[in-house]
Chains A and B, each alone.
Chain A
Amino acid sequence: MSTQDPSLDALLARGYQHGFVTDIESDTVAPGLDRDTVRFISAKKGEPQFLLDWRLQALDRWYEMKEPHWAKLQYKPIDYQDISYYSAPKANTDGPKSLADVDPKLLATYEKLGVPLHERARLAGVAVDAVFDSVSVATTFKDRLSAAGVIFCPFSEAVHNHPELIERWLGTVVPYGDNYYAALNSAVFTDGSFVYIPKGVRCPMELSTYFRINAAKTGQFERTLIVADEGSHVSYLEGCTAPMRDENQLHAAVVELLALDDAQIKYSTVQNWYPGDENGVGGIYNFVTKRGECRGRNSRISWTQVETGSAITWKYPSCVLRGENSVGEFYSVAVTANYQQADTGTKMIHIGANTRSTIVSKGISAGHAQNTYRGQVSVMPGAHGARNFTQCDSLLLGGQCGAHTVPYIEVKNPQATVEHEASTSRISEEQLFYCLQRGLSQEDAINLIVGGFCKTVFRELPMEFAVEAQNLLAVSLEGAVG
């Protein structure tokens, strides 16, 4: 492999810092997927009948569907019968009651990932749900949150404690038959987080879930559901890592957000699944369905994502703007290096009158990576006065990578305003030399320039995450430019 600039090659030798494996005994079901697998998962979780029925319907639907191949992604076919659909650390039958019950090895794992679960060690103001393979292992600050009326707990716990909420809201934003991966997830999802913010409540702290894949040959299929009732506010953060392995592992999550009248949800992701090595071996296949519905008037949903990991990323966090005056936002930085491929973007569906949406996408490509922005802006006939602004910028590092922009715009209302701006650029020799002449190292110079490129997205992140994102960017591009 050789790029035009030899120092670029040096930068492409990246280091993944979360690639360790926790040596913990796991209860892992044999690979394979059929109705019994679904029944097994449901029974393991002691689920009510309605949920089992829903799962089985999803599985039936999934059998009828075909894996989609419209994205600009190339990968070996996934053998869905060769994946284990359930893995949980042993001695964790009902989930831990408190941190004292959590296996110290697990606590140490999160400590090592920079997510200490001891509340006194946590950043004040951030509550964490830690999901390890198929199950949630700890949730912090539950008491303080419940005092405010906020429900923040593992999904499987919500199924037991608040079945009426789950039955009412589950699948109302992303139906089980929505797409191939959503159907798969609906059939076999194992855990995730559930959030309910009651009417008029401003969630007193940031909520976050930290997803960790540990076991080999397993997939992670988590499900997150956030309901913001009338006039409530919540900010939610999601982080993800996985060990370094030679085989590809599948991650197919579903996230549903629902904002009622005057409610606001801010959802931030820092996705750092293992991206594979410098030759493209291994890495996570990340096929994720994320959708928010602004069901109520004046509601607002904002997606901010920093995508640096995964061998394959297929992900389009979207907003259905049903309520009048509702607002959808999507801010994204997607970094691909080595042989990573990302096909990511958003959908903004304007249904209600005076709905507004903003899309800012920054794609950075290095090495042999392919980075595609795919976005859809639809304005329905009833969306009088709808407005969208889209800005898509791509930055190329080196001569072997690619950046692609695929916008779909569909306007069925003559009063709507839709703007789309796009640019593709390279880090210029001039900018690099300017920084070097001021004494900065090559790497610092590149991080500085790329950081500047991403600034409009980073400033949307909560402060604790903005710093992490900046650091992650530096690690991802380590050796990536020369």
Chain B
Amino acid sequence: MTTPLLSIRDLRVRIGDREVLQGINLDVPAGQVHAIMGPNGSGKSSLSHVLAGKPGYTVTGGTVLFKGQDLLALPAEERAREGMFLGFQYPVEIPGVNNAYLLRAALNAARRHRSEPEVDAFDFLALVKSRMQLMRMDEAFLSRGVNEGFSGGEKKRNEILQMLVLEPSLAVLDETDSGLDIDALKVVAAGIQTLRAPDRAIVLVTHYQRLLDHVAPDQVHVLARGRIIKSGGPELALELERRGYDWLLDDAA
């Protein structure tokens, strides 16, 4: 077996003196989609944030290898440029900064990192417009402020659009499906499916089965009380949908 794209070993993390991740072990090989499910407060968002390098978390033990290198040693922007993308649960508004500007700056930061020439304005526009079509977004959106006055659904679409333009090798999508109506969910799911490729991996952090109806996972993990308490195939998600988490929590206790 080849080295997994993402390999987490005994990861322990604190916020203040509360241990939010208590020894996570997870391997995500290239080409696969993994779903991480679990009740509220189980540590799902903490895991996403720690992988992306958000300040405020203290790693007290364990390792994370991304494409074979020590992910935790890299500053947040380096992780992004190396191809680690976080789809935010609550994308922040940046008033006055237009979407196209941020996205082009992001794409060029990654290209410079790979010693590729910066993308010119015309090529960039063509690329974004093709991805926007896929996400069924209006072109007027490009000149609007980043997430400024967006509805919850628009913000999530925007996250997926950014992902499709940046083409990361690892996308961690933190509850991208929450707050979406059925139609928007389908569009977002189709966008995620587009990114699936043999050299990429996707981690879906979600509460619900419904996204997984459209993006079939290779593996499903249940995160509870800061630990992965059960892993299985797609059928595990269906079972959780039917039975909830309590039976697992009782087992684990």
Name A residues whose Cβ lies closer than 8 Å to a Cβ of B: 428-431, 433-442, 444, 448-449, 451-456
Contacts and interface: CB of A to CB of B under 8 A. Distances in A.
Given A433-B54, A433-B55, A448-B102, A441 B77 contact: yes
27 contacts: A428-B92, A429-B55, A430-B92, A431-B92, A436-B53, A436-B75, A436-B80, A437-B53, A437-B77, A437-B85, A437-B86, A438-B105, A438-B162, A438-B166, A440-B102, A440-B106, A441-B109, A442-B77, A444-B109, A448-B101, A448-B105, A449-B94, A452-B94, A452-B97, A452-B145, A453-B95, A453-B96
A456 B96 CA distance: 8
Interface string B92-125: 1011110001110110011001000000000000
Contact of B80 (A428, A437, A444, A453): A437
B97 A440 contact: no
A17 B88 CA distance: 39
A221 B49 CA distance: 56
Interface class of chain A by DSSP: helix
Contact of B102 (A433, A435, A441): A435
Given A435-B102, A440-B109, A444-B105, A452 B95 contact: yes
Contacts of B52: 433, 437
Given A438-B102, A439-B106, A448-B105, A433 B76 contact: yes
A435 B94 CA distance: 10
Given A437-B77, A439-B77, A439-B166, 11 more contacts: A429-B56, A437-B53, A437-B76, A438-B102, A438-B103, A438-B109, A441-B77, A444-B109, A448-B94, A453-B95, A456-B96
A449 B77 CA distance: 16
Interface in B61-101: 75-77, 79-81, 85-86, 88, 91-92, 94-97, 101
A454 B80 contact: no
Given A452-B97, A456-B96, A440 B105 contact: yes
Given A437-B76, A437-B80, A438-B102, A455 B96 contact: yes
B97 A449 contact: yes
A440 B77 contact: yes
Given A448-B102, A451-B97, A439 B81 contact: yes
Interface centre among A438, A444, A456 (most CB of B within 10 A): A438
Contacts of B110: 439
A68 to B, nearest CB: 35
A174 B54 CA distance: 54
A437 B89 CA distance: 13
Nearest to B148: A452
Interface string B131-174: 00000000000000110000000000000001000100000000
A36 B85 CA distance: 71
